[in-house]
Amino acid sequence: MSNLVPRDLPLPLPAPAWLLEFLLVSSFMLHILFVNLMVGGSLFTVFYQWKGKTDQRFEELAYLVAKTLTVNKSLAVVLGVGPLLCLNVLYTTFFYSANALTGTAWLMIIPLISGAFLLTYLHKYTWHNNSLSRGSHRLIAIFAAILFLIIPFIFLANANLMLFPERWGEVKGFFTALLLPNVFPRYLHFIAASVTVTGLFLIGYLGRNKDPSSIFQREPNFLFEARRSLYSLCFVITAAQFIIGPLVLFTLPSHGISGAMLGFLLIAIAMAMVLLKFLYQESKNPTPQLSKGFLRIVFLFTVIVAFMVSIRHMYREQALSAHKQIQKEKTQAFLDESAAAAIQAKSPVAEVSPQEKGKNAFASYCSGCHAEATVKVGPALTEIRGIYKTDTAGIVKWAKAPGKKRPGMAMPSMNHVQEDDLDAIAHWILKAK
Ligand code: HEC
């Protein structure tokens, strides 16, 4: 197998690898939570607004969700910086290679995010004034949701491509990167998780507004119903994850799957089954006040997500381990080679003692006319030493503007020679320090 992974940068990590990995996993978990809320929130806004066409109460509900969206999407982006930095440090060449291979799409993330942000604000701030028709107002939410669906897709394709250097040779841009077998199941898994996370968030969030004019204070029953249908939705989606999850697992190239990973997965699946049962109970009979039942669900869900994120990391480490080994060897080979080259070249820029510099410069500029003990065109160095003793500056001055002392030829000016070379020459002639 030809290995396309380039050598690594021969620099030490800024912190121990285990610490960076821990930071990566934990900061990623926080980031993905808000990404889920961003994607889910935009979907719920569209859905509730659409239902609001016939039932005004859903329009109000949609507005409550949309208000959280602008906050959650900002948090998603800000909290993305941490994991991105850790990823860059830990998987430098893997990550950058994947970025380069998906080039244009990867760069598109910036205009797409900016566009999505502007649309969500436009959507929120035009809600209660009549500058837009209801139809175009709903359309803005739809456009924003589409952008929010595309952005994670690009990230996912990239993060996925990074894991399989053995496939890099076939990849000719973003769309061919999608041909890796597990991209779509993974994406589906993510979207489903986004809906569940947002569903749970809304169950906890709705009805918190104690303002008597708010929809849920006016109609407590509507709150009850909204919660119940959210529980049902979470239940159905979580059940669907029992099909999507295995799809992800079976489409993943098997060389990344380890025993430990499967062990963790089994525990997570067992917990997910319990979660499913809890969700079912609540959907049949939600407690009017948020109760222990809800907290139990949130806690279990959080633990499951922590497991999933860790499993994801375990897979990455395992999938890349052989490539990392080859890369390590390449990096070491590079270091050895450059060390050898430095010694061999004895490059003039590298460490040359001042005396050596003087000797070399004398050989280039002066040795045509001066020799150690014999008179060539000009006087011998032994004679010059006798005249100048320790006065290096005197020699430099002479060389730049020679006088005329002896009979015969005059010495031409050495003004074209660099001052520090002349200085080194003078030091070398006088054997001065
Ligand atoms: C083309 C030949 C030529 C070259 C090249 C040359 N010199 Fe000379 N140099 C002479 C001659 C000829 C004299 C004697 C001049 C005189 O006494 O009038 C001399 C004299 C000297 C003296 C004696 C000055 C004194 O006070 O008596 C020094 C010092 C000297 N050269 C340094 C240098 C250095 C340093 C270089 C190289 C950067 C250099 N020369 C390159 C021809 C040369």
Atom 5, ligand 1: which residue's CA is nearest? 366
Does the pLDDT value for residue 67 go beyond 80? yes
* Average pLDDT for the chain: 88
pLDDT at 376: 86
The residue whose CA is least distant from atom 32 of ligand 1 is 399
What mean pLDDT do residues 273-277 have? Answer: 93
- The CA distance from 253 to 245, in Å, is 15
pLDDT of residue 351: 67
Looking at per-residue confidence, does 166 or 202 come out higher? 202
Q: What is the pLDDT of residues 296-348, one digit of tens each?
A: 899 999 999 999 989 988 888 888 888 888 888 888 888 888 888 877 776 65
pLDDT at 12: 83
pLDDT number for residue 342: 78
CA-nearest of 377, 361, 357 to 369 is 377
d(CA 272, CA 308): 11
Torsion over CA of 258, 263, 268 and 271, rounded to 10 degrees? 170
pLDDT value of residue 423: 94
State how far the Cα of 432 lies from the Cα of 429, in Å rounded to an integer. Answer: 8
Looking at the CA of residue 429, tell me the nearest atom of ligand 1.
35
Q: How far apart are CA 63 and CA 61, in angstroms?
A: 5
Q: How many CA atoms lie within 13 A of 332 on its CB side?
A: 6
Give me 46's structure tokens: 């569209």
Q: Which of 121-130, 344-353, 362-371, 372-381 has the lowest mean pLDDT?
A: 344-353
Whether 212 contacts 220, CB under 8 Å: no
What are the C-alpha distances in Å from 268 to residues 237, 252, 292, 308?
A: 16, 18, 22, 7
Q: In the prediction, which pLDDT does 348 show?
A: 59
Distance 351 CA to ligand 1 centre (A): 29
The proportion of the chain whose per-residue pLDDT surpasses 70, expressed as a percent, equals 97
Residue predicted with more confidence, 400 or 172: 400
Choose the residue to mutate in 360, 365, 369 for probing ligand 1, maximizing ligand atoms within 8 Å of C-beta.
369
Write down the pLDDT at residue 60: 87
404 CB near ligand 1 (under 6 Å): yes
pLDDT of residue 191: 95
Reported as a single tens digit per residue, the pLDDT across 51-66 is: 989 988 898 889 989 9
Kindly report the number of other CB atoms within 10 A of residue 198's CB atom.
27
Q: How far is CA 420 from CA 8, 347, 367, 399, 416, in A?
A: 39, 19, 18, 12, 12
368 lines ligand 1 (CB under 6 A): yes
| CA gap 356, 336 in Å, rounded | 27
Residue 1 confidence (pLDDT) above 60: no
CB-ligand 1 contact for 80 (6 Å cutoff): no
Residue 363 CB less than 6 A away from ligand 1: no
pLDDT tens-place string over residues 134-181 = 888 899 999 999 999 999 999 999 988 888 888 888 888 888 888 888
Q: Quote the Cα angle for 253-254-259, to 5°.
A: 145
Res 352: pLDDT: 75
Round to whole Å and give the CA distance between 422 and 386: 19
Q: What is the pLDDT of residues 180-192, one digit of tens each?
A: 888 899 999 999 9
Most distant CA atoms of the chain, gap in Å: 119
> Measuring from atom 39 of ligand 1, which residue has the nearest CA?
366
Contact residues for 423 (Cβ-Cβ < 8 A; gap 6+): 392, 396
